[in-house]
């Protein structure tokens, strides 16, 4: 065999031996992947609140195919959280064509609703109560009833469009010089929502918490702002009528008997 061939064989043997040594050696580092349940618990400890509880089931909104959590927690709750009680789709007409903007989920705990409404509707028909605006007005005005609306977007969207649309609903109730409104509008500066991302508002004890893409961005302590924002979803002219209708049907079943 030529000297060149011998050198090639020797080099090959050295590479094989090096591979064997590397395989038997201890790894340079060990990667440990935390279970999903543990990771969510750690996130709750860091943030002080857990919006979507661990192991929650998601519900698919049929017209968009987007998923909404089956329940939503506030104030660090991890159990007995408000269930998804109303669901619908925000449709915007553009050049005469209906465009799906987002899937909407409404969360209200039936027990809180019953406590707020008392026995005023006992004995009435479910359909009658579900369509009674006085029921929604009572829930809107009662700060003890925690209310959450979650929007999951069906298309990429500049958040300025969402902020402008909401501000149009809020400004008549709060006034154009409202400090709360200016704070609220600033949350959306430079934010873009991609399809499947979420925007969540929770009204609890007269304070409005806003979360963008699952991260809390601010809390505004203003009971009137809570009422004004949720009036857009529970008031006489809701932006997502289907969500309000299904919420009314769900809650009515708990307050008539």
Residues in CB range of 251: below 8 A, 6 or more apart:
85, 108, 110, 113, 130, 135, 139
Whole-angstrom Cα distance, residue 210 to residue 219? Answer: 6
Q: What is the pLDDT of residue 14?
A: 55
Q: What is the pLDDT of residue 43?
A: 37
Whole-angstrom Cα distance, residue 138 to residue 249? Answer: 16
CA distances from 64 to 72, 107, 162 (A): 20, 19, 18
Q: What is the pLDDT of residue 233?
A: 97
- % the chain with pLDDT above 70: 80
Q: Between residues 160 and 1, which one has the greater pLDDT?
A: 160
Q: Where are the domains of the chain?
A: 58-255
> In terms of C-beta distances under 8 Å and separation of at least 24 residues, what long-range contacts does 123-126 make, across chains too?
123/256, 124/256, 125/256, 126/249, 126/252, 126/253, 126/256
Nearest Cα residue to 152 out of 184, 190, 106 = 106
pLDDT single digits (tens) 42-96: 333 333 354 776 678 999 999 999 999 999 998 778 888 999 999 999 999 888 8
pLDDT band for position 17 (cuts 50, 70, 90):
low
**Which residues face 199 on adjacent strands?**
151, 212
Residue environment code for 81-92, b if the CB has 16+ CB neighbours within 10 A, otherwise e: bbebbbbbbbbe
pLDDT single digits (tens) 62-76: 999 999 999 999 877
Q: Between residues 26 and 141, which one has the greater pLDDT?
A: 141
The mean pLDDT of 109-114, rounded to a whole number, is 96
The mean pLDDT of 135-141, rounded to a whole number, is 96
Question: What is the average pLDDT value for the chain, to the nearest integer?
Answer: 84
CATH of 58-255, one of 1.10.287.130, 3.50.70.10, 3.20.20.105, 3.40.50.720: 3.50.70.10
């Amino acid at each position: 065999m030529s000297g060149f061939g011998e050198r090639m064989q020797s080099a090959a043997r050295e590479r094989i031996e090096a591979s064997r040594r590397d395989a038997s050696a201890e790894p340079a580092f060990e990667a440990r992947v935390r279970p999903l349940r543990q990771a969510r618990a750690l996130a709750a400890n860091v943030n002080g609140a857990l919006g979507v509880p661990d192991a929650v089931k998601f519900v698919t909104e049929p017209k968009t195919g987007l998923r909404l959590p089956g329940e939503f927690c506030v104030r660090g709750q991890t159990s007995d959280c408000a269930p998804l009680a109303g669901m619908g789709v925000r449709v915007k007409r553009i050049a005469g064509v209906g465009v799906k903007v987002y899937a909407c989920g409404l969360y209200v705990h039936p027990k809180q609703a019953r406590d707020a409404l008392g026995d005023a509707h006992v004995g009435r028909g479910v359909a009658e109560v579900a369509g009674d605006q006085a029921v929604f007005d009572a829930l809107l005005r009662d700060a003890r009833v925690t209310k959450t609306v979650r929007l999951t977007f069906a298309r990429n969207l500049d958040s300025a469009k969402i902020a402008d649309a909401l501000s149009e609903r809020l400004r008549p109730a709060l006034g154009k010089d409202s400090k709360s409104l200016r704070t609220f509008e600033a949350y959306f500066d430079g934010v873009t929502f991609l399809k499947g991302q979420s925007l969540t508002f929770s009204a609890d004890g007269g304070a409005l918490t806003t979360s963008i893409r699952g991260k809390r961005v601010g809390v505004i302590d203003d009971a009137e702002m809570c009422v004004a924002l949720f009036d857009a979803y529970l008031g006489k002219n809701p932006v997502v009528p289907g969500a309000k209708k299904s919420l009314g049907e769900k809650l009515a079943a708990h307050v008539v008997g």
